[in-house]
Structure formats: C-alpha cells, structure tokens
C-alpha cells in the first residue's frame, strides 16, 4: 500500500426481514496503515447499496482535495456503478451523480474488489453498519 493514498474500506448491512427495510453503511479510512476516520449512516426504507454510495460520497467530501482514494469492498455492484453516468433505468442515480461530482475533487478515486474474509476491515464495517441499524430501530 502506498503511504500517500487513502484506503477506504466500505461495507453495509440491510435487514429485509422488517417492513421498513432498515439499511446502514460504514467506512473505515486508513492512511499509512493506520485508521484515521470512520463513519456510519443508517436509514429506513432503503438498501445497503444506497447506504454504501452515501458513505463513499461522504468520504470523498471529507478527504483532502486532490487525494488519491482507493475504495475497498466485496460488492461488485458498487465497482460497476458508482462512477458511471446513470441512465433513466439506473438505480440510485441521485447518489451516483453525487459520487461523480465528489470524485472530481480528487486526483483519483477507484474501487477495488477484495475478499470479505481476507481483511478484518470489511467484517468490521459490516458490524458497524449492523449496530447502526439496531440503534435506529431502538430510536
């Protein structure tokens, strides 16, 4: 890993068993092998893909301008859709457009697919997201 890059581990959780379909997303930002920031968001009546796009957009807003960002996830949908111009049939087009706009602030931003169980950061983002869903339900 290059020391000047920001590595953003992105995960989410969704509970389809409840009518309100609560979902949450989380990230862990690392630089130079050290955790420097985390963020979690949860909402009702949404999907884990929306929550992942939401936290990705948030990460691009909080990281310094002209950063090199590498998002790490095990979700192919994110890699395939997060920065492609949406069509009238695209899901989450509003968030994809926000990601495209936020990406322009940076030197580069890419998404890499990694194995979920190979890196402890991905299960940790899932745990963080799941906990946020439980807290939202209790509120």
For the stretch 87-121, pLDDT in tens is 989 899 999 999 999 999 999 999 999 999 999 99
Q: Which stretches within the chain are classed as H helix?
A: 48-62, 76-81, 93-103, 121-138
Task: Label residue 3 by pLDDT band (50, 70, 90).
Answer: low
pLDDT for 37:
98
| Residue 76 belongs to a domain | yes
| Residue 66 belongs to a domain | yes
Number of domains in the chain: 1
| Residue 34 belongs to a domain | yes
Tokens of 123: 């299960």
Sign, Cα dihedral of 7, 110, 10, 1: negative
Asked if 7 and 27 count as a contact pair (C-beta separation under 8 A), the reply is no
For the stretch 56-83, pLDDT in tens is 999 999 999 999 999 999 999 999 999 9
| Residue 133 belongs to a domain | yes
The rounded distance, in Å, linking the Cα atoms of 23 and 16 is 9
Beta bridge partners of 6: 69
């Amino acid at each position: 890993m290059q020391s000047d890059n920001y590595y953003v581990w992105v995960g989410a959780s969704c509970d389809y068993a409840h009518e309100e379909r609560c979902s949450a997303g989380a990230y862990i930002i690392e630089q130079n092998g050290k955790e420097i920031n985390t963020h979690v968001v949860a909402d009702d009546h949404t999907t884990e893909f929306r929550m992942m796009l939401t936290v990705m957009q948030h990460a691009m807003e909080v990281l310094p301008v002209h950063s090199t960002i590498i998002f790490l996830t095990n979700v192919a949908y994110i890699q395939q859709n997060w920065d492609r111009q949406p069509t009238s049939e695209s899901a989450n087009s509003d968030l994809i457009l926000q990601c495209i706009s936020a990406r322009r602030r940076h030197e580069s931003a890419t998404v890499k697919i990694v194995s979920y169980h190979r890196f402890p950061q991905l299960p940790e983002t899932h745990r963080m997201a799941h906990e946020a869903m439980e807290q939202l339900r209790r509120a």
